[in-house]
Structure 1
Amino acid sequence: MRWKLVTCAVASLTALPLAVVVPAGAAPTGPYRAEIRRTAYGIPHVKAADYAGLGFGEGYAFAQDNLCVMASHLVTLAGERSRYFGPDAATDDPLVSTSNLASDVYQQAELRSGTVRRLIAQPAPLGPTREVRDIVRGYVAGYNRYLRDTGVSRLPDSTCRGAAWVRPMTELDVYRDMYQVTQIEGVEQAIDPIVDAAPPTAGKAVRTKPPVLPKADAGSNAYGLGRGATRGGTGGMVLANPHFPWAGVGRFYQVQLTIPGRLNVSGVALYGTPLVEIGHTEHLAWSHTVSTAARATFYRLTLVPGDPTSYVVDGHREAMTKRTVTVQVRGKDGRLGSVSRTLYDSRYGPVVADGWTTTNAYAIRDVNARNVRAMNTWLAMDQADSVAQLRKAQDTYQGVPFTNTIAADSTGQAYYADASVAPHVTDDQLKSCAVDGPELALDGSTSRCAWGSDPDAIEPGIFGPSRTPRLSRTDYVTNSNNSPWLTNPDAPLTGFPRIFGDTGTERSLRTRLGLDMVKQRLAGTDGLGPRGFDLASLRRTMLGDRDLSAELLRDQLVAYCRAHPTLTATDGTSVDVRSACRVLAAWDLRTDTGSKGAVLWRAFFFAAAASRLFRTPFDPAHPVTTPRDLNTADPGVGRAVADTVQRMTALKVPLDEPLGAAQRYAGIAIPGCPGAEGCFNAIYPASLPLQADGTYSDVTSGSSFIMAVSLTPAGPRASTILTYSESANPSSPHHTDQTRLFSAKRWVQDRFADAEIAADPAYRTTRVTG
C-alpha cells in the first residue's frame, strides 16, 4: 500500500476567465479534502466528507488521466478553435460534426447570450441544487489544482504539453459542457445551418431544400432483469452497454464516488461532468440507451412580404433578432485575422439556412434549451437505492435529456422508462399542424401549433411524467434504441404520444438479437447452463458476439452460391465464388477476433444493402422473427457475392481473414460488428470498406462501458470493461490496458465496498486537500 499527500491552496475562482459568482450561502466553509484510492487499471474511488470535497477529488483524478482532452474541449466551449487550430478542421467533438469556424461562431453566440448564466441562476429544481453547485465547484478546483501543481510545460501527455491553449477550467465551463450534452440530439446537430443562415438577397442562390436534423452517432443496449429472470439468490441484474465515441469528450470516465452515509455510487461519467450517469449503488443499478423521442421540432415561418427577416404569428408581425459574432481565425500563414457572421433567431429558436426563401423560413426549437436540470437528475439518481427512489428522482427533476432508463434493484424489480425531456406535441397537433418540409415541421404562423404542457410537468412545453412510456416487471425489460413498443414483447407498450416513437413497425436486427438472447437464456437453450441469468451467464451473453444477419441468411446464401458457383459482378465479370462458399460454410457465425468468415460476410452484407435482401417481409404479428429468409430472386444478392470476392481478391485479402486481423484499435484486435449487421456488441470502424492493406480504419465508436451487475441482498457483485481504457494519454499505463482485456473477453472485478477496494493488489491512495 502506497500513500501520497498533496496539499493545495485553492486560487480564487473569480480570478479565472468566465468565472461564475457562486450564490450566497454556497461558499466553502473549510478546505477541500478528498482521498483518491486507485485500484487495478487505474480506476479511482474518490471518498470525501462533503460534495465539494468529492468534486475536488474527482476533478483532480480526472485531470491526472485526461486533462488534454478536456483542455481541447475548453477551447471549443470558448469559441477559440479557429484561433489555435485554424477554421477548416473539424472540431474535437465526435458527436457534433462541424468545422472549427462554425463551432466558434455558435459557441461565442451562445456564450454572449448569457443563456446558461441565467438558467443556473434559477433556484432548484430548475437551477442547480446546493449539492450540485458544491460538487461542480469542487470539481473545477480539483482540475485546476492538478493543472497548477503540474504546470502546462510538465504535463505528462505530449498532446497538449506546453500548448498555449491549455487554461484553467471554470464553473461556467462545466455547466456549459453539460448544457451542450443535453442538446446533442437536437440543436447541436444543426450548428452548420444555424451559422450559415442568411436572408435571401438578389443574385444569391436560395437553399430551397428543407432542413434535415441528423442523429448523433450514439446508441446503446441495456437489460433490466427482475427476480423472475435471475437465479442463484440474485434479486435484480442490469447489463449496461452504451455505444459512444472512443475519442474526444464523448468518452466515459470510470469512477466511484463516496460520501459515507450520504452517497456511494460506482459507474461512469462523461468527460467533464462530475456525476455518474450510468452505474450502480448498493441495491440499485441502471443504464441508459438513446431514445427515439424527438428532441426538437422545426417551425415553418410565414414571412412578411418584402421583409425576409420578419414573420407572422396569429396575424401579427414579429421581427427576427440578429446577433453578429466575430471570431479570431488563424490563417495558413499563421497570422490572426477575424471572421464575422450574423445569426438569426425567432420566438421558436434559431433560424436555419435551408428552406429560407422570400416566403418561408424554418426555425428549430430544442426541448432542452432550458434544461440545466440534468445534473440535478443524475445526482439524485446517484443517491437512489431502489427503483422507486430512482423513479422519484427522475419525476422530481425531469432532466434526462435524450435517453431511456433501464434499471433493476435488489428486490428483483426491473424498470424501463423513457423519462427523457420531449416536446409536448400531441398526436392531433402532428396531424393538424404538419407542414411540407422536414419531418416534425409545424406551422409557425399560429399559436395553436405551439408546444403544450401537462400539470405535472416541471416547466411548460414538455410532457409530464404521467404521459411518458414506462414499464415495471419482475422478469425483464430491454432496449436497443428502438421505440418503447417491445421493451418486453409479452407486454407491448402502446398508447404513448407518437413523438416518443412508433409502434407496430420493424425492429432493428440488434434489437431482435437482444430479445432473442434473453428468450434463449430464460429457456436455457443457449448452451450457457440452467435457465435464468447469473453474473457468469450475463457476461457470456454480452460477449457471445452472435451475428443475427448471418444466423438468418448464411446457410441459404451458401446453398445459393453452391448452386451457382460462378456469379456476375457489377462490372460484368464472371467470378468463381466456390472458395467464398467454403469459407462461409465453415464460419462459426460469431464476430470473435479469431472468426474466419466474419470479414467476408460483412463485405457481402453491406454490398447487398441496396437489394431486397429478405424474402419474408416484416409482419407486425411476428415482430421479433421477421423479416427473414434470403431473397435469392433479387439479382443484387448474386452481384453482391461476386463483387465481394472480386474486391477482396484484388486487395489480396484472404477470404478467410480473421476478424481480428482487420478490425483493430491502437493495434489491438477488437471483436464485434456494426449494429446494422445484427451484432449486440456493436463496434464501428471509422469506415467499413476494407482498406488497401486488408484492414478497416481504426474503431471510433461502439461498445464503450460494459457493466454486468448482480444486486444481491449482501451488496452488488459486478464486472466491468471500459473498452478504450481509463486514460486518453498515450503514455499512460492505463491507455489501452482494458482494451486488451476487451480483446480477450476478460472483465474487471468491480470493487465497491471499502474492504474490496483496499484488498486490490494494485491499491494505492492519494489524499488531496486544498
Structure 2
Amino acid sequence: MKIRKMSGYRPGYSRAFSLALMLAGSTVLTGCLNDDDSSPSSSGSVSLDTNLFPEDGQLEATIRRTTDGVPHITADNLKSAAFGHGYAQAQDNVCMLAEAIVKARSERAKYFGPGPDDINIINDFSFKAQKILSGAEEEFPMLSPESTALIEGFAAGYNKYVSETAPGDLPAECNNQPWVKTITPVDLFAHYRIVGQYASGALFATGAVFLAVPPGESPVPESVVAASQSMDPFKLVAANARMHASDIKNFQDMGLASNAWGIGREMSEGGKGALLANPHFPYTGHRRLYQVQMTVPGYLNAMGAGLLGTAVPLINFNENLGWSHTVTTSRRFTLYELTLKDGDNLTYIKDGVEKPITSETFQVEVFNGSPTPTVLERTFYYSEYGPMLSANAVTSGGLPKWGANGTAYTYRDANASTTRLLDTWLQMSQASNLQEFQDVFRNCGTTFWTNSTYADDQGNAFYIDSSSVPNLSKQALAVIAFKRNASAAYNQLFNAGLTLLDGNSSRDDWVEGSCNGLVPYEDKPKLLRADWVQNSNDSYWSTNPAEFLTGYSPMFGPEESPLGPRTRLGISMLQNPLSSGPVSPTAPEPAGQDGKFGAEDLVNVIYNNRAWYADEFLDELRNRCTAIGATQVLLPTAGSRSVDQGCAVLQAWDGLYNIDSVGAHVYRVFIANYRNSFATDLTVPFDPTDPVATPSTPSATNAGTPDDPMLQALAVGLNALDSVGIAYDAALGTVQYYQPSGGALPGLAGGSLSGGTPTDLGPSFPWHGGDGGVDGAFNAIGVVTDPFLEDTRFPRVAPSTIANTAGLSDVAGEGWRMARGTSWHFGLEFTDNGPEAFGLVSYSQSTDSDSTFFNDQSQRFSDKNYRPIAFSEEDIEASLLTGGEQTITSD
C-alpha cells in the first residue's frame, strides 16, 4: 500500500498542527506514549506478535483525512493503528474524551463540584461501588494481547495529542482545565466498563446503589476532611439520590434506537448482499459515533464508526461483509431478593446455608470552593451476585426497604466485565465470511446490548441477538412465567425491565455453561435469509414475518407482541419495494424502479421520510376533516374550536417529513395526542399472524362529528401550535432544526460551582425526519430536554417542551430543536469491484466549534447530500484533503 509520510496543515486544525510541528524532533514523550510494561512487546521472554506490537517499541501511524475529515489510519501493527485512532479522535473530540475519563475515575465531584442535586457525588460513589476503575485495574492484565494493543495504542495516541497541545489552545469546553491530562490504559478500559453497562449497571448509578444501606445506617456520606463553612455539599445527597433513582421508570429504555436491514442475494441489485445502517444515537456527548477506517495490511481493514473512545469502530464493513447494530429487547441484568437471617441484616440464607453480605468503604473528593476539597466516605455492600440495591428507590416503594419483611435486594450484571468488548468487534472486523462472523459469537463474543444485522458478498442476510443475556434454567424461567401470571405486581416489574429472582435458592442462579452465565450462541435468536432480515428495536420474533422466530428465553424479549411504527414501516417497505406508500405519491420507491436494493437505494430509504402513522391514518383524518368542515370540535377538557384551517393544510400535505413539507408538524401534534387513544379507539386488535397491519382502524363511532376522537386530538394539537405562534402552513424545515450548543465548562468556570453558560454554536440547520415513536418516522430524530450533553456534565441549551407534541418548545417560535436520531448512517452494497457505500455522520466528526469538521456534514444531511464512503486505496487518494496527511510517532 502506497503511503505518503508527511506532516501537513489541515483546515480546522491550525493550532494543533502548528504546535506539533514546533515540537517535532525535540519532544520525547514517555510513559503512555511508548510501550508500557503491561504489553507483551516490553518483555523479551514473550514472543512478539508483530501484527499487534511494533518490534522496536516505537508506534507509528499515518492519518489521511478525506472528505468531511474522515481519518483513514494505516500502520504496520494494531497498537500503532490504535495510536493513530486515539490521536485523531483527540484532535476532533478531546474535551468529550477527557470528561469521559473523569467520569470513569469517579472524579467528577473533585473537578466539577457536587453537581446539580449532588449528581456528581452520587455518580462518583456509585461507579466506585460498581468497581468501574478498580475492576478495570483487576481485569486489565487478563485482557487478550489484541485488546491490550488496542487500548494501550489508543491511550498513547490520546496522550500524544494532549501533551502536544497547550492547555490554552484546547476548545472552550475544557480550555485550561486541570482534568485534561494524560491517561493510563486502565483509565480508558474503565470508560469501556461504563459503556458496557449503559443498559444495566449505569441505570443504577444515579441513586439505587448509593441508597442501599442496612437498617439503622444512613446513606449520607461522612466528611473525612472538614467541609468549608460556606457550604455543606452532602446535606441533601440522600434525598437527591432517591429523586434521581425514581426518575427511571423503564429499565429497558436506554434512550437509543436504530434501524438495520440486511439484504440478501434475492433482493439486491447485483445479486450479492447489501446493508442499511441507521443508528439513532445522541448528537452530543460520549455516545456520539465517530467514523474511521483502520488498516493494518494483511491483518485488518475495516471502515465504520464507534462510540467516542472505543479503539475500534463498531458499526463496520470490510472487503467481504458488513453489519449494523440495533438496541435489543433483551435483559442484561437480574435482581435477586435475598432472605435475611433472623436478627441479622448482613447475612442471608441460600439453600439453607448462611451467606455474608460484605462491605467496602470508598472515598470521594468534592470541590467546595476552597483550596482544600471535602473528602466524603461511604460504605457499600455486596452479595455474591454484586452490589446491593435499594429496591424501594428503584420501584418507588413497590418493593420493600432493606430489612423490611426480612428481605434485601441485589443484582447481577451481565456486562459487569468488558474484557471481550474490543475482541468481539475486532474479530467481527477481521471475519471474511459468514462462518467466521458467526464463530465470534460461538466463542462467546458479545455486543453487550445490541442485535447485529449482517450482509456479505455471498448474498447472505443474517440477524442475531448478539447481546449479553443471563442464562437461566428452564426451572427458573418456569417460575418467572408462573409469577407473572399469578401476580400483577410481579408482572408490572417484569414489564418495566426488572427480572426479580429468588436469592434463597441456587435454582435461580445463572447457568454458567460455556459462556460464564450468558446464553450461548446455539440458544440465541438468529435468522439466515436470502431475501432480507431487519430490526428496528422490536423483538427478534419479527425479524422477517415469513419466518417468525419463536421458542426462545423470555430474557430476549417478547414473542407475538405488537410492533413499533418504525418496524411496521420498515417491513412494509421491504415487502413492497416498488410502492411509495398509500399517501405519499412524491416519495421514491424504496428499492427504485427495479425492485432491488443498491447502496444508494438504501440511503434513500432513510431519506424518503415516510412515517407509518401518516400512511395509516392520514386519509381517514382527511375524510373526517371534510365531514366536519367549519363546525366546532369539542375539546376533551372544556370548550371547543374549529379545525378547518389545520385540515386545509393536511389536505395538501405530501405525507412526508421533508424540510419543504407543509403540514408535517400539524400532523405531528395531531398524532401525538391521538396515539393516547389507540387502546380505546382502534377497532382491529393486534393479530400475531399479521403484525404489520394490526392493530388498526379507528372507530366509526362519532366519526366526523364534534365528539370525534381524531378531530379532538387535532384540535388539542392546533391549540399547542397556537400557544407558541407556529403557523400551520409553515414548511417543516422552518420549525424543525438541528442547533449545536455548548461552549461551556462542565463546572467551576471562574471558580463557580454552577459551571459555564452554554450558547448556540454556529448556525442551525433545517432538519428532515420525524420522531420515531410519535410520528412513526423511519428517519427517526428527536428532541432532548436534558440540560447536559449526553452522559456528560457539559451544559447545553435545551428546550422546555409542551406535553403531547413530540418536543415542541414552549417558547414562542422556537419549534422543535432536534438533538438525537439518525447519526452515522450508510447504504452498502457488495459488488464485483468490492464494497460500495454512501452515507454521512449527520452531526459531523468534531465537537470543537472551531474545527472545519464541526458542522460540515450537518449541512450535507440537511441537503440530503450523502457522500461516497472512501474505502479502497484509490478512493482514499482521490478524496484526500489538501494537507490532510500526517504521520505520527510515539517519540
Same fold (TM over 0.5): yes
Shift in Å, 1:307: 2.4
Counterparts of 1:645 and 1:249, CA distance in 2: 37
**Aligned 8 A contact 2:109 2:124 in 1:** yes
Matched, 1:186 2:200: yes
The residue number in structure 2 matching 1:95 is none
Pick which of 172-181 and 282-291 moved more.
172-181
Instruction: Give the Å deviation of 1:332.
Output: 6.3
1:681 aligns with: 779
Work out whether 1:400 is the aligned partner of 2:427.
no
Aligned partner letter, 1:189: L
Once residues 606 and 129 of structure 1 are traced to their aligned partners in structure 2, the CA distance between those partners, rounded to angstroms, is 49
TM-fit CA distance, 1:334: 8.2
- Spell out, residue by residue over 1:366-397, the C-alpha distance to the aligned partner (whole angstroms, 9 max, x if none): 11123311211111111112222211123224
Quick one: which of 313, 331, 340 aligns to 2:368? 331
Relative to 1, partners in 2 of residues 1:574 and 1:254: Cα closer, same or farther, differing over 3 Å?
same
Matches within 5 A, 1:414-433: 414-432=461-479
Distance change in 2, residues 1:211/1:281 (3 Å): closer
Candidates 427, 436, 444, aligned match of 1:389: 436
Using the alignment, how far apart are the partners of 1:101 and 1:13 within structure 2? 29
Question: Which stretch shows the higher mean deviation, 136-145 or 634-643?
Answer: 634-643
The verdict on how the C-alpha distance between 1:397 and 1:32 changes in structure 2, with shifts beyond 3 A counting, is farther
Counterparts of 2:65 and 2:539, CA distance in 1: 39
Q: Could you tell me how far 1:632 is from its partner in structure 2?
A: 5.6
Quickly say closer, same or farther: Cα 1:130–1:462, change in 2 above 3 A: same
**Partner AA of 1:9 in structure 2:** V
Q: How does 1:275-674 map to 2 (within 5 A)?
A: 275-331=312-368, 336-353=373-390, 354=392, 355-358=400-403, 359-432=406-479, 437=490, 438-439=493-494, 440-454=499-513, 457-459=514-516, 461-521=517-577, 527=589, 528-564=592-628, 565-612=631-678, 613-631=681-699, 633=701, 636-666=709-739, 667-674=764-771
Structure 1 unaligned regions, length at least 5? 91-97, 123-127
Moved more, 46-55 or 4-13: 4-13
Q: Distance in 2 between matches of 1:219 and 1:662?
A: 24
Alpha carbons of structure 1 residues 276 and 524: separation in structure 2 relative to 1, 3 Å:
same
Structure 1 Cα separation of the partners of residues 597 and 348 of structure 2: 59
The answer (yes or no) to whether the contact 1:279–1:286 under 8 Å persists in 2 is yes
Matched, 1:61 2:117: no
Counterpart secondary structure, 2:439: helix
Amino acid in the other structure paired with 1:215: D
> Structure 1, residues 342-370: CA drift from partner, whole Å, max 9, x if none?
22211111111123242222211111123
| Correspondence 1:251 to 2:288 | yes
Shift of 1:15: 11
- 1:87 aligned residue: 114
**Residues 497/566 of structure 1: CA separation in 2 closer, same or farther (3 Å cut):** same
Measure how far apart 1:2 and its partner are. 10
Which shows bigger deviation, 420-429 or 345-354?
Answer: 420-429
- What SS class does the counterpart of residue 62 from structure 2 fall into? strand
Q: What's the offset of the Cα at 1:650?
A: 2.6
Q: State the partner residue of 1:704.
A: 823
Residue 282 of structure 1 and its aligned partner are, at CA, apart by 0.7
Output the CA distance in 1 between the equivalents of 2:304 and 2:72: 10
1:670 alignment partner AA: W
Partner of residue 61 from structure 2, selected from 27, 34, 56: 34
Q: How many residues align structurally?
A: 751
Q: What is the CA-CA distance between 1:518 and the residue it aligns to?
A: 1.2
Q: Which amino acid aligns with 1:768?
A: I
**Alpha-carbon displacement from aligned partner over 1:543-602 (angstroms, at most 9, x marks no partner):** 111011111111212222332331122441211111111111111111111211111111
Aligned to 1:93: none
The Cα of 1:326 is off from its aligned counterpart by 2.1
Structure 1 position 448, deviation (Å): 1.2
What SS does the aligned partner of 1:513 have? helix
Alpha-carbon distance in structure 2 between the residues aligned to 1:648 and 1:113: 48
Output the aligned Cα RMSD.
Answer: 2.6
> Which AA in structure 2 matches 1:398?
G
2:145 corresponds to 1:130: yes
Corresponding residue of 2:849? 730
Seen in structure 2, the aligned counterparts of structure 1 residues 381 and 203 have a Cα distance that, compared at 3 Å, is closer
Cα distance, 1:316 vs. partner? 2.0
Shift of 1:689: 3.0
Distance 1:689 1:11, change over 3 A: same
Per the TM alignment, residue 281 of structure 1 is displaced from its structure 2 partner at its CA by 0.3
Deviation at 1:111, TM superposition (A): 4.8
1:261-303, Cα deviation, whole Å (9 max, x unpaired): 1111101021111111111101111111111111011111112
The DSSP-based 3-state class of the residue aligned with 2:429 is helix
Q: 2:155 aligns with which of 140, 159, 165?
A: 140
CA distance in 1 between counterparts of 2:531 and 2:79 reads 40
Identity value in percent: 31
Give the letter aligned to residue 502 of structure 1. P
Q: CA deviation at 1:696?
A: 4.0
Kindly state the Cα deviation for residue 682 of structure 1 after the two structures are TM-superposed. 0.8
Deviations 1:70-99 (A, max 9, x none): 011111111111122222338xxxxxxx92
How far did residue 433 of structure 1 move? 5.2
Residues 189 and 214, structure 1, Cα contact 8 Å, conserved in 2: no
Residue in structure 2 matched with residue 121 of structure 1 by the alignment? 141
Deviation at 1:120, TM superposition (A): 2.9
Moved more, 3-12 or 214-223: 3-12
Distance between the aligned counterparts of 2:285 and 2:37, measured in 1? 25
Note if 1:107 corresponds to 2:89: no
SS in 1 for 2:173: coil
Q: Secondary structure at the match of 2:106?
A: coil
Quick one: structure 1 residues 690 and 303, their matched pair in 2 at CA, closer, same or farther if it must change by over 3 Å? Answer: same
Contact 2:263-2:530 within 8 A present in 1 as well: yes
CA distance 1:335–1:668, change in 2 (3 Å) = farther
* C-alpha contact (below 8 Å) 2:723/2:812 kept by paired residues: no
- Summarize the Cα distance change of 1:161–1:431 in structure 2 as closer, same or farther, 3 Å threshold: same
Q: Structure 2 vs 1, CA of residues 632 and 151 (structure 1 numbering), >3 Å: closer, same or farther?
A: farther
- SS of equivalent residue, structure 1 residue 282: coil
SS in 2 for 1:646: helix
- Indicate if the aligned counterparts of 2:578 and 2:593 stay in contact, CA closer than 8 A: no
The correspondence for 2:7, drawn from 4, 15, 18, is 4
SS at match of 1:391: helix
* Worse-matched range after superposition: 680-689 or 197-206: 197-206
Residues in 2 aligned to 1:633 and 1:332: alpha-carbon distance in whole angstroms: 65
Task: Select between 403-412 and 167-176 the one with higher mean Cα deviation.
Answer: 167-176
Tell me by how many angstroms 1:314 deviates: 1.2
Q: Judge conservation of contact 1:543–1:745 (CA < 8 Å) in 2.
A: yes
Match of 2:14 in 1: none
Kept in 1, the 8 Å contact 2:133–2:186? The answer is no
Would you say the 8 A contact 1:220–1:242 is kept in 2? yes
Asked if 1 retains the 8 angstrom alpha-carbon contact of 2:252 and 2:329, the reply is: no
Matching residue of 2:256: 218
Taking the aligned partners of 1:62 and 1:117, their CA distance within structure 2 comes to: 24
